[in-house]
Structures are given as C-alpha cells and as structure tokens.
Structure 1
C-alpha cells in the first residue's frame, strides 16, 4: 500500500511522534510513502536552528534522519513556513533575510504537492489538527 502522510502538529505535540512511528511502521511493514507533507506548525520540524534540551528527545533530528535514510519526499508547505520563519537559501535570498534555517532533506513547495500525493497514494493519513 502507498501512503501520503500529512503532519500538522509542531515538534512539542505528541502527534509529531505518532506520525513518525506510523511512517516507520508503514515502511517496516513493506508499504511505501509517496510523500510526507508538513503543514501548519509541523513546518518547525524543518528548522535547523531549534535546539532541544539534552534530556529531551529531538523529534526534528529524528524526522530528518528518517527522511534521509529512507530517501523520502518531504515537502514543507511554503506559505506556512514563510509565516513561521522557516526559510531555505532561495527564500532567504528572495525575501532579503540574513540567514536560511532549512535545507536538506526538506523541500519548500505549495499545497498542490499534497493534492498530488493524495492522488497517487492508496491512503492519505493526517496527524495533528
């Protein structure tokens, strides 16, 4: 089965961990993930600047490692990212900001990527609200 997974919850929300566990279990079960789509506060997971206390798990790092090691398509909603200050090199330059705080494995793109993912997947699953 091919899944499209959307995450709407930020790093502090338990839904971020649930989505990661689901995605790992899907791949472990022999399924595919057509696309991961990060929307609303989930775009904070794409920021390279957040630092977690040493006694807390770093869910953003875990997502990055999971995406990279499985070579998954991870799209961050560009409108939600810009509103929350999550910028890749191109957007930082475009909006004349001094620094970018997002890069690989994340791709900033529009909601059309989520629509495309749902059309090519057998199931669409959303975590968070």
Structure 2
C-alpha cells in the first residue's frame, strides 16, 4: 500500500520546500531502495505465510516476479490513471534492479556460508 500510494498520489499541490539540495537521479534511487526492501521483506513474508514449507528457490522466483510485475503495473497505472504522474521505463529498470538486489541479499543471508537457516 505504501508504494502504491506514493506512486499514484500527486504531490504537486503540496508546498514542499525541497531546498537547494539537488541529487541527480534521486527518484531512481528511491525506486531502487523501495523495491529492494519490497523483495527482501517479501521473502520473509512468504516464509511466514507458508510456515517455512516453501523452499527458498521457489519463494525467490515468486517474490521476484511479483515485484517486477507490480512495478510494471504501477507504471501502467501512472500512465493511464493520473494526469500529473509520468510513467518511465527508467523507473521499471530501477524497480527491477532493486528487486534483484533484494533477492541477492536474501540469497546471501541464507547461503551455506552464512549461519541463518530458511527452515524453522
């Protein structure tokens, strides 16, 4: 809900003082971080909902495909439903890259070199 609200809500009516700080590609970095966290936490959510019965590999595939599909859906909704939000292919790439990095973090945490276990 958080990502959906931020993606579809218009902030143009608000008087947000951004100051003089201008960070190039800050919006792409935000997309990257949101989707990295989305997939990282998504894996744990799926683990808890399935009570640990779904293998790590299947969980990763489901969460990764869901995150990428969701990112594409949000961009399509921005294009079709909003007047002041822009759908950008760069956002889809940033979302997807963040999703892959989030999945990579999960794989790294639960690799054989790390002490964390996927099952209870």
TM-score in terms of structure 2 length = 0.28
Comparing both structures, which one devotes a greater share of its residues to helix?
2
Structure index of larger Rg = 2
* TM-score scaled by length of structure 1: 0.27
The structure carrying a bigger strand percent of its residues is 1
